[in-house]
């Protein structure tokens, strides 16, 4: 089965840029989607199709995907960005949805 | 605006059964594939099962196949998850989610608030 690997945690100072990686075999050939989950809340889609933002998501959120790594980029980080972030792909061979293990972003 | 509301969670003994329901509103339910996604306490997200819009094609994660059954009633705007032979490791918040399908991919654009299932004696 397809596996997505994320770092458990990322720390960033306010106003700086956070980069969250999501590694998978030839992930650049797949579409990657990202979710933000704050404590006690349901996840929210923040990036779809590697780099597109749904309506209502700030421009500070962006993404890239190439080779074996997809990246969620949060620019000008704010205290309100502190949350868990999960990457997700669809594995065509198994018709299964796969999530990464999640990355906790801490704003210093 | 789409709204998804789960119900049916609670405390269940190991080996027991439970049925979760999800009532949706604000969109044409029969036009979308749907899934259940779960999250064990303090853990990450795990996709559990999906069902295509007609209710015929279904897929399951290996750990629940043969124990869980996903179904839907398009006349009632409702999604269900029948869970049998429950184990402690099934303890989780279960989310009802709506699929957005694209070429060679799918993702979840709307989530319910979740319902907690606790499997314990």
Phi-psi region of B27 (alpha: psi -120 to 50; beta: other; left: phi over 0): beta
Is the Cα dihedral B102, B107, B110, B112 positive or negative? positive
Residue B113 has its nearest CB partner, among A1, A42, A49, at A42
Å between A97 CA and nearest CA of chain B: 6
**Residue B50 sits at the chain A interface (C-beta within 8 Å):** yes
Contact assignment for A48 to B100 by CB distance below 8 Å: yes
Provide the pLDDT for residue A39. Answer: 95
* Residue of chain B minimizing CA distance to A90: B105
The tally of CA atoms less than 13 A away on the side-chain side of residue A106 is: 6
Å between B58 CA and nearest CA of chain A: 10
Tens digit of each residue's pLDDT (9 = 90 or more) over B62-104: 999 999 999 999 999 999 999 999 999 999 999 999 999 888 8
Mean pLDDT for all residues in chain B: 96
Residue B106 has its nearest CB partner, among A37, A90, A102, at A90
The answer for residues whose C-beta is within 8 angstroms of residue B30's C-beta and 6 or more apart is: B53, B74
Interatomic CA distance for residues B19 and A3, integer angstroms:
30
Tens digit of each residue's pLDDT (9 = 90 or more) over A33-87: 999 999 999 999 999 999 999 999 999 999 999 999 999 999 999 999 999 999 9
Contact assignment for B45 to A33 by CB distance below 8 Å: no
Residue B107 has its nearest CB partner, among A44, A48, A92, at A48
Lowest mean pLDDT among A15-24, A97-106, B98-107: B98-107
Query: How far are the Cα atoms of B60, B67, B97 from residue B107, in angstroms, in the given order?
Result: 16, 25, 9
Provide the pLDDT for residue B101. Answer: 85
**Stretch 67-96 of chain B: residues touching chain A, C-beta under 8 Å:** 95
Q: Is the pLDDT of residue B39 over 90?
A: yes
Q: What is the dihedral of CA B64, B65, B67, B72, to 10 degrees?
A: 100
Q: What is the CA radius of gyration of chain A?
A: 13
């Amino acid at each position: 089965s397809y596996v997505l690997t994320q770092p458990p945690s990322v720390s960033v100072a306010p106003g700086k840029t956070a980069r969250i990686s999501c590694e998978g075999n030839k992930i650049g050939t797949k579409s990657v989607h990202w979710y933000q989950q704050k404590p006690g809340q349901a996840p929210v889609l923040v990036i779809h199709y590697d780099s597109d933002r749904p309506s209502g998501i700030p421009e500070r959120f962006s993404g890239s995907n190439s080779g074996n790594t997809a990246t969620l980029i949060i620019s000008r980080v704010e205290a309100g960005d502190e949350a868990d972030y999960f990457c997700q792909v669809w594995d065509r061979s198994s018709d299964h949805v796969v999530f990464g293990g999640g990355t906790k972003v801490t704003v210093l | 605006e789409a709204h998804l509301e789960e119900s049916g969670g609670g405390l269940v003994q190991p080996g027991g059964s439970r049925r979760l329901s999800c009532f949706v509103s604000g969109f044409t339910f029969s036009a979308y594939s749907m899934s259940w996604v779960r999250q064990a306490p303090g853990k990450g997200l795990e996709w559990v099962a999906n069902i295509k819009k007609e209710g015929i094609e279904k897929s399951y994660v290996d750990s629940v196949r043969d124990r869980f059954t996903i179904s839907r009633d398009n006349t009632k705007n409702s999604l269900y998850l029948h869970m049998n032979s429950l184990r402690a490791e099934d303890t989780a918040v279960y989310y009802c989610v709506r699929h957005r399908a694209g070429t060679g991919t799918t993702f979840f654009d709307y989530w319910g608030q979740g319902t907690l299932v606790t499997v314990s004696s």
